[in-house]
A and B are shown apart, each in its own frame.
Chain A
Amino acid sequence: MYKSLSQLKYLLAGLVFGVIFVKAEVISWFRIQEMFRLQSFHMYGVIGSAVLVGMLSVWMIKQFNIKTIQGETVTFQSRKFNRGQIYGGLIFGLGWAITGACPGPLFAQIGTGATVIVITLLSAIAGTWVYGKFREKLPH
């Protein structure tokens, strides 16, 4: 019971994150179009400054050996290169410019009342499923 309740912190973190998404208009199809047409700095500024703050935070956690609230040492995953990052990355990029949303914003878009985006989300889940089904046959 306590464990379930403590999980609610992730719901809260997501909620705050969702509000930022909406208020920064990063879930807007128009902003994504401007980004890919090089018409606005907004999205580059958002992603760039997010990465800088993320980098600085990770550096601080490592440098000062900051522990989690449970007292654990923070663990970081390392990424192994495979060609999927190229092929999959290009495919995702194509989709991103059509829907104007990466996976996170899809959830937020539905929340703001664009209920039809449920279809886009279900399609994204289907895409993930098809990848899982044919994973062995795809070049990696």
Chain B
Amino acid sequence: MDIFNFVKQPWPWYVAGPLIGLTVPVLLLIGNKSFGISASLRHICAACVPAKIPFFQYNWKSESWNLLFVGGILLGGIVAGAWLSNPAAMTIHPALAKELAGYGITNYQSLVPAELFNWQALFTVRGLLMMAGGGFLVGFGTRYAGGCTSGHAIMGLSTLQWPSLVATICFMIGGLVMANVFLPWILAL
């Protein structure tokens, strides 16, 4: 197997996790920046629609590194999607496959399920709830919590901030409840 095909396989957690963790010292050492992603959404609000709201009155330009960072993530998605993507369909847990088949979701070819997230689906109740509704909760919740998986779970826990542990536990509780209680109902719509 050549190196390129080797890279194309899905990377195991013990390769990807430590690499993601290294983002913490990399950002600290190249510019004294604290790893965090959801703040970029606030900077976009401050730059585009501040609307005299005090929360968006600050010098977002001094935080422009964060916007470049998320721009880089987008580019990384393009690079990985175009040249490094795994040609095979994803393998998912049989119980999940069985459950999803009940909602008509049987295509595991792409990381984002094509049957749930597509432009036509946006005009269905299920699609609108999942894309527009889900996105709203992500943006509202992360800012309310003061950070997301990167800012709280990874950066916050790395620096032993107990409020970040509280936030991380709440992320997990919210996710467990949604996936097991409400989402089956939404998927059945």
Contacts and interface: CB of A to CB of B under 8 A. Distances in A.
What is the predominant secondary structure among interface residues of chain A facing chain B?
helix
A114 B122 CA distance: 13
A40 B90 CA distance: 13
B42 A128 contact: yes
- Of the listed residues B33, B73, B163, the one surrounded by the most CB atoms of chain A closer than 10 A to its CB is B73
A123 B41 CA distance: 10
Interface residues of B, number: 126
Interface core residue of B64, B139, B145, B183 (most chain A CB under 10 Å): B139
Interface residues of A, number: 115
DSSP class of B's interface residues: helix, strand, loop or mixed?
Answer: helix
Contacts of A63: none
A44 B152 CA distance: 15
B117 A114 contact: yes
Contact of B77 (A42, A107, A122, A129): A107
B101 interface: no
Contacts, number: 496
A49 B45 contact: no
Interface string A55-95: 10110110000101110101111111110111111111111
A86 B169 CA distance: 9
Given A14-B73, A103-B37, A112-B78, A84 B30 contact: no
A27 B119 CA distance: 19
Given A39-B96, A45-B13, A128-B139, A14 B69 contact: yes
Contacts of B34: 76-77
A109 B22 CA distance: 22
Question: Which 8 A/B pairs are nearest by Cβ-Cβ distance?
Answer: A18-B76, A93-B174, A14-B72, A111-B77, A88-B144, A89-B170, A95-B137, A53-B21
